[in-house]
Amino acid sequence: MATVKIEALGKLHEIANFDCGSAALNQWLKTTARQHQKNNTSKTFVLVEEQSPTVPQGFMTMAIRNLTPSGDLPAAMAKKLPANVAGYTLARLAVSVHAQKRGYGERLLFEAMERVCLASRLVGGFAMFVDAKDGAADSCKKYGFVELPSKPDVLVLPIASMPGFPDR
């Protein structure tokens, strides 16, 4: 297996030919990701292989999320929370068609979870959300994420339930 690393999307990363099989995700990476980073509305991280460090094999985009628990969360999660809660969102995750079936999607998801745990230890936050695209919801459910009652393509996992969270 190739040695890989995950790093912030930068100017040297060649994204023009990235293809994950989803036109919407490809287009977002190519036209919007860098603009969002410049405006600090989200951050995109790319997975690159050691032998091709400028060619992303996958990417994930993360952002902060505010929500109203009583309207957004399953009742069992919402009942002990204040009126407004901060969390983190894995807004996009994709792996190149040439790099699929290598565990890169799982690696990106775990990296997102680690970053959320670190951020929550520093500044707080209740949960990590996943905005599942193209039927990816089932992949997240096996790690404990549950669907929001009103939005089945949005999943949530309390940070305190994540592996490696210090209070667990």
CATH number of the domain to which 139 belongs: 3.40.630.30
Would 167 be classed as within a structural domain?
A: no
Please state the φ and ψ torsions of residue 88, each to the nearest 5 degrees: -130, 145
Cα distance between residue 139 and residue 31, in whole Å: 26
- Residue-level pLDDT at 152: 81
25 contacts 15 by C-beta, under 8 angstroms: no
Residue 44 falls within a domain, yes or no? yes
Q: Domain total for the chain?
A: 1
Residues 6+ apart with CB under 8 A from 106: none
Name the pTM for this structure: 0.89
Report if residue 32 sits inside a domain.
yes
Within-domain flag for 155 = yes
> For the chain, which ranges sit under pLDDT 70?
1, 164-168
pLDDT at 168: 43
Alpha-carbon dihedral angle through residues 109, 32, 27, 24, given to the nearest 10 degrees: 60
DSSP structural state of residue 18? -
Considering the domain boundaries, does residue 166 fall inside one? no
Q: What is the pLDDT of residue 1?
A: 59
pLDDT value of residue 75 = 81
Range of the domain at 89: 4-161
**Distance from C-alpha of 73 to C-alpha of 1, rounded to nearest angstrom:** 39
pLDDT recorded at residue 95: 96
- Give the CA angle between residues 7, 32, 52 to the nearest 5°: 35
